[in-house]
């Protein structure tokens, strides 16, 4: 493994960061003494969300729940509504559970305490403890992996390799700033497909840059195959008030959505529609259209039909319910036909 002049690398990157750090709302406050609640919310939210989009969600969530006590006291339905559009709703449910623990016992005083909270893994615990407590914990995420793999020209870095290198170069005097500097570098300069190497403060030390093929490092990860799922949904009501059911499962559990049935393997779509209509006691009307949406390693194609059901549960306000993007897309089909006031996201 090529040795790295660690002290020079630290000095160069931190000097760059001090001049070019992104101005983000959760970065307010002195190094190592930031508001743990705001940093924690931002880290959970940005796990699966790009910063540009995450800013809107962050502001909305903090407006609804400005303190950990407010979040802990809120009903889960309100938390999911404030999280709407962010996806990966298990994050919101775990954040809510953890907030109840923190409101009762106080914020953790070290990495181990953060790691013990629901939904907090090694990355989040390292980020929050370094940024709010000044604890020397190195983060390991996609940006860190790419930056370090290029510094050492490592094509297939394992998680253990990345963590070892991150621990090696971490600046113990400014651990939070160092972690943010590596992530900012990966997000703005050392990007996956078009790295801006001439602007990089670490170019002189980067083995991948020296090779002339920086984008060859790291080699692309093998992606899990996307599972195609097809189903039917009934819109009983309209785009302002409709019959909704509570979703189950890890992806969308706790959200509300249109009554839906997935098509079983080797089953005709009409059979799934008949099964759904029987379950809801519904009379199926005209097809409204088809929507698709990707969720983690599955892509759902949903065929949406208008329906009436005299004995179905009472319609509820669509605007007040926490819905997935898939359901928002489905409801927008009716808006397109009727020109209703409902605004899809």
pLDDT at position 3 is 79
45 and 118 part of one domain? yes
- 339 — pLDDT class (breaks 50, 70, 90): low
- Whether 345 maps to a domain, the answer reads no
67 and 173 part of one domain? yes
Contact 317, 240 (CB under 8 A): yes
Print the domain residue range for 89.
6-216
Give me the CATH number covering residue 280: 3.90.79.10
297 and 334 part of one domain? yes
pLDDT per residue over 192-207, tens digit each? 999 999 999 999 999 9
Which of 43, 154, 180, 261 is the catalytic position? 43
Work out the angle at residue 231's Cα, subtended by the Cα atoms of residues 225 and 234, and round it to the nearest 5 degrees: 150
pLDDT per residue over 150-175, tens digit each? 999 999 999 999 999 999 999 999 99
208 and 240 part of one domain? no
Q: Are strands 227-236 and 298-308 parallel, antiparallel or unpaired?
A: parallel
Contact 173, 6 (CB under 8 A): no
Q: What is the pTM of this model?
A: 0.83
Does residue 321 have a pLDDT over 80? yes
User: Annotated catalytic, 230?
Assistant: no
pLDDT at position 251 is 66
Task: Find, among 255, 232, 229, the residue nearest to 244 by Cα.
Answer: 255
- Whether 1 maps to a domain, the answer reads no
């Amino acid at each position: 493994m090529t040795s790295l002049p660690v002290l020079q690398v630290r000095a160069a990157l931190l000097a760059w960061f001090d001049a070019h750090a992104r101005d983000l709302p959760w970065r307010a406050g002195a190094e190592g003494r930031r508001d743990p609640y705001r940093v924690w919310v931002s880290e959970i939210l940005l796990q699966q969300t790009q910063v540009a989009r995450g800013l809107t969600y962050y502001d909305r969530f903090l407006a609804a729940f400005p303190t950990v006590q407010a979040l802990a006291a809120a009903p889960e339905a309100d938390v999911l509504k404030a999280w709407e559009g962010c996806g990966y709703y298990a994050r919101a449910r775990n954040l809510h559970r953890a907030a109840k623990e923190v409101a009762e016992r106080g914020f953790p005083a070290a990495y181990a305490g953060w790691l013990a909270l629901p939904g907090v893994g090694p990355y989040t615990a390292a980020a929050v403890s370094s940024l709010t407590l000044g604890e020397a914990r190195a983060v390991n995420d996609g940006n860190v992996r790419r930056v370090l793999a290029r510094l050492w020209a490592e094509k297939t870095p394992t998680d253990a390799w990345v963590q070892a290198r991150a621990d090696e170069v971490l600046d113990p005097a400014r651990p939070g700033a160092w972690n943010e500097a590596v992530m900012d570098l990966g997000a703005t300069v050392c990007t996956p497909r078009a790295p801006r190497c001439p602007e990089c403060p670490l170019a002189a030390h980067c083995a991948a840059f020296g090779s002339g093929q920086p984008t060859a490092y790291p080699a692309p990860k093998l992606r899990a195959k996307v599972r195609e799922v097809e189903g039917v949904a009934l819109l009983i009501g309209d785009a302002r008030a409709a019959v909704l059911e509570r979703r189950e499962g890890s992806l969308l559990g706790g959200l509300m959505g249109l009554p839906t049935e997935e098509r079983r393997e080797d089953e005709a779509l009409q059979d799934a529609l008949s099964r759904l209509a029987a379950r809801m006691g519904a009379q199926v009307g005209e097809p409204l259209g088809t929507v698709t949406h990707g969720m983690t390693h599955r892509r759902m194609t949903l065929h949406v039909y208008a329906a009436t059901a005299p004995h179905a549960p009472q319609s509820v306000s669509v605007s007040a319910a926490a819905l997935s993007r898939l359901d928002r897309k489905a409801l927008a089909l009716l808006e397109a036909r009727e020109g209703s006031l409902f605004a899809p996201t």
